[in-house]
Amino acid sequence: MSSRISQGWPAPAKLNLFLHVNGRRDDGYHELQTLFQFIDYCDYLDFKVTESSTLKLHSNMGGVVADSDNLILRAAKLLQIVSGCNKGAEIWLDKRLPMGGGIGGGSSDAATTLVALNALWDTRLNREQLKEIGLQLGADVPVFINGFSAFAEGVGEEFQSVTPKEYWYLVLIPDVHVSTAEIFQDPDLPRNTPKLDIDSLMKGNWQNDCQELVAKRYPQVAKTLRWLLEYAPSRMTGTGACVFGEFELQQQALDVLAKLPSDMTGFVAKGANISSLELRLAQL
């Protein structure tokens, strides 16, 4: 016997409104301070619970490999193992977020899988337990499980909820895949931004310590950022490649999007301090 399909589970994108690299630890991980805010631009997942423990993924995108290395399937498998659940699922992914763009597409998909299946399988793990599973899949996954805009420290696993202004953003997607690992291994990455307390950070001039290095290594990122800076305060998110400009009004962002050169792509989205996944979960 199988159940009906539970549709429309969002996997929202995030922006790093700032990203400071404070140092490198002995284990090779970096100490960071960053501010995550969600935007209302998402991948979407549908789930059908099955009585057999098999997991199957369908995707609308050729580049998404539905094998055992896929983050969605790994998330579902880990949840089965940790919870002892013997149900399975058929999963459909409607992929809209760019891969390797620094807006958290793969991590968000994994988080939505954990949150949705925890509810649909009735495995009853609490949020902290889900975050622990998420951390095994990637440093950004817990942020999406957390569901609220957050100031993060450490390697990104220590959160404090914050409510930065919810701007309209124009997000541009340079046609390049930036490797996070390569950026953090590069000797030229600045690693000495002083740690600041949250009040100072929330008032300060925000920057991304990875931006200059990424722009130097990837001319497409530098070109896109130069173009966007003509119109609005703009930065790169995460380790790139996406860059974003902030606007008070939706129409301002749409007007700039309309001027976009033909060799650039982008979208307009609203900042959201409560993620769309959190809102979807509340509907159950």
Confidence at 66, pLDDT banded by 50, 70, 90: low
Residues 258-283 pLDDT 10s? 999 999 999 999 999 999 999 999 99
CATH number at residue 229: 3.30.70.890
Are 34 and 138 members of one domain?
Answer: yes
Establish if 281 belongs to a structural domain: no
């988080």: which residue's tokens? 111
Establish if 284 belongs to a structural domain: no
Are 13 and 123 members of one domain?
Answer: yes
Q: What is the pLDDT of residue 1?
A: 39
Establish if 150 belongs to a structural domain: yes
pTM (2 d.p.): 0.93
Are 148 and 260 members of one domain?
Answer: no
Are 203 and 131 members of one domain?
Answer: no
Q: What is the pLDDT of residue 154?
A: 80
Residues 3-50 pLDDT 10s? 699 999 999 999 999 999 999 988 888 899 999 999 999 999 999 999
**Distance in angstroms between the alpha carbons of the first and the last residue of the chain:** 22
Are 183 and 142 members of one domain?
Answer: no
Rounded distance between C-alpha atoms, residue 81 and residue 197, angstroms: 39
Rounded distance between C-alpha atoms, residue 28 and residue 184, angstroms: 9
**CA trace torsion 144, 148, 150, 153 (10° rounding):** -40
Mean pLDDT check: name the lowest of 86-100, 150-164, 254-268: 150-164
Q: What does the block give as tokens for 210? A: 């990875």
Q: What does the block give as tokens for 59? A: 């995707």
H-state helical runs in the chain: 71-83, 105-120, 127-137, 141-146, 180-185, 198-203, 211-217, 219-229, 250-258, 276-282
Are 147 and 253 members of one domain?
Answer: no
Rounded distance between C-alpha atoms, residue 274 and residue 284, angstroms: 17
Whether residue 65 is predicted with pLDDT greater than 70 in this model: the reply is no
- Per the structure, the complete domain to which residue 99 belongs is given by 2-162
Residues annotated as catalytic (active site), given as ranges: 14, 140
How many domains does the chain fold into? Answer: 2
Closest residue by Cα to residue 216 from 235, 198, 189, 193: 189
